Structure formats: structure tokens, C-alpha cells
Amino acid sequence: MNPAAEAAIVEDVQGDNRWMCMHHTFVSESKEKEPDVLFIGDSLIRNLAITQEWERMFEPLHCLNFGIGGDQTQNVLWRIQNGELEGISPKVIVVLVGTNNYNHTAEQVAEGILKIVQLLNEKQSKAQVVVVGIPPRGQYPNPLRDKIARINANLQENLDHLPNAMFLNTDPALFINPQDGSISHHDMHDYLHLTDKGYQKLCEPLLEEVQNLLKTFVKVDGGN
């Protein structure tokens, strides 16, 4: 059994039930709103919603954001299985998850993400699923970067075999200094979570792909 591909809730170790409350909020939103684009994943998705990039790039496209900080692949699977997509019919679903699966191998994480895509195909057969490559992390080269590279390579190879799904590569060169392999705090303030500048690098190619899929073009003002 692959724990990264078996739906599971997040243990409420802090005792405030925030994760389940957010899930219930998303279920309610799915009954009240009609998004053309759904974003689902971990904090890299959640934090996007409070950036200038979200406001100027994605809000005009009628998007919903179902990201939860700390989520792993198995947690996103559980949320999808338990009502978060029941009341909506998005044309495009953007998935970014996997950086928090510390205890799983690259192969297990990739399998968990592929399982998410398969479930999305079952739940939303008319939607196009865009899996965003996991960005590199850590100020300097480290084993997690190597693991992320293996996850992304696996996804790039295997997503083509699934219907209505595509892999959008996150080029590590967008964030990594070729001279010393470092990531700047101007792109990732804690060398994991993206700044506005970092999100601009990540989201410009994503916006282009989403627009192409929607066949809708929004005028985006230049970033700072």
C-alpha cells in the first residue's frame, strides 16, 4: 500500500480543528459559486490567493482556491472524495501538491498525484487538469530538491497517459542561481514559500496555459 495514494484526513494535533473547518468551507463554496477554474493543493496554492498575482491574473478568470497549508497528496485525495467538487463544474483544475510529503519516496508522491488526477477525471470528466511541477526548495542544493526533481520527471512521463491532463513544468532555473545553486529570499522568503516576485515567475506560464484552455484572454498589467 502507498500511503501517499490512500485518502486520509489531517490529524488535529493542535486541537483547533482548522483543517476540517477549511474543508467544510470549501464544500459550502462549491455549492454557492460557479468557478471556471479551480486551484487545489497545499500552501503554495493557498498563499497564492493573498497575492497581487491572484488579483490581477486569476480573479478575472472566475477562480476558486481550495488550498490548505501543510496538505499532502493523501489529504487532497480525501478532500476531493468528500464533497469539495460536488457542486461545481470548472473548465480547468490546477493541482500543486507534494512538497510536504516528507515521509514518502518520490515514486510514492508521484503516484499520489496521479491518483488525484484520476479521481478528478472521475469527478469532473469535462475539466482539463493542469498539474504544476513542484518548485525547488531550500536555500542551497539539498536532498529534497533532488527528490522533487524525480517527482516532476515521473509526472512529466506519466501524465500523458491520463485523459484531459497535462504537466506544466516548473523550470528550476527560474529560482536557482546557476553560479552557486542558491535560491533567493526575494523569490522564496523562507526558501519554500513564494514571495509576490516568486509567484510572478511561477504564474506567468500557468496563466498562459489556463487562458489557452479557457480560450479566454485577460489583460494583465505588468508586475513590479
Give the tens place of pLDDT for each residue, 46-88: 999 999 999 999 999 999 999 999 999 999 999 999 999 998 9
Q: Is 158 helix (H, G, I), strand (E, B) or coil?
A: helix
What does pLDDT average to over the chain?
Answer: 95
pLDDT recorded at residue 167: 97
Q: Which three cell numbers stand for residue 36?
A: 471556471
Quick check: 219 pLDDT over 80?
A: no
Give the tens place of pLDDT for each residue, 77-95: 999 999 999 989 999 999 9
| Active-site annotation holder among 30, 43, 104, 187 | 43
Residue 89: how many other CB atoms lie within 10 Å:
12
pLDDT recorded at residue 218: 63
| Active-site annotation holder among 24, 62, 193, 196 | 193
The answer to whether the beta carbons of residues 57 and 70 sit under 8 Å apart is no
Q: How confident is the model at residue 221 (pLDDT cuts 50, 70, 90)?
A: low
Quick check: 220 pLDDT over 90?
A: no
Residue 125 is among the residues annotated as catalytic for this protein: no
pLDDT recorded at residue 216: 66
Mean pLDDT, rounded, for 167-184: 97
pLDDT recorded at residue 7: 98
Of the candidates 42, 96, 92, 97, which has an alpha carbon nearest to the alpha carbon of residue 64? 92
| Active-site annotation holder among 12, 146, 171, 190 | 190
Residue 185 is among the residues annotated as catalytic for this protein: no
Residue 43 is among the residues annotated as catalytic for this protein: yes
Mean pLDDT, rounded, for 132-149: 98
Alpha-helical (H) ranges within 183-224 are 196-214
Of the candidates 134, 140, 199, 210, which has an alpha carbon nearest to the alpha carbon of residue 172? 134
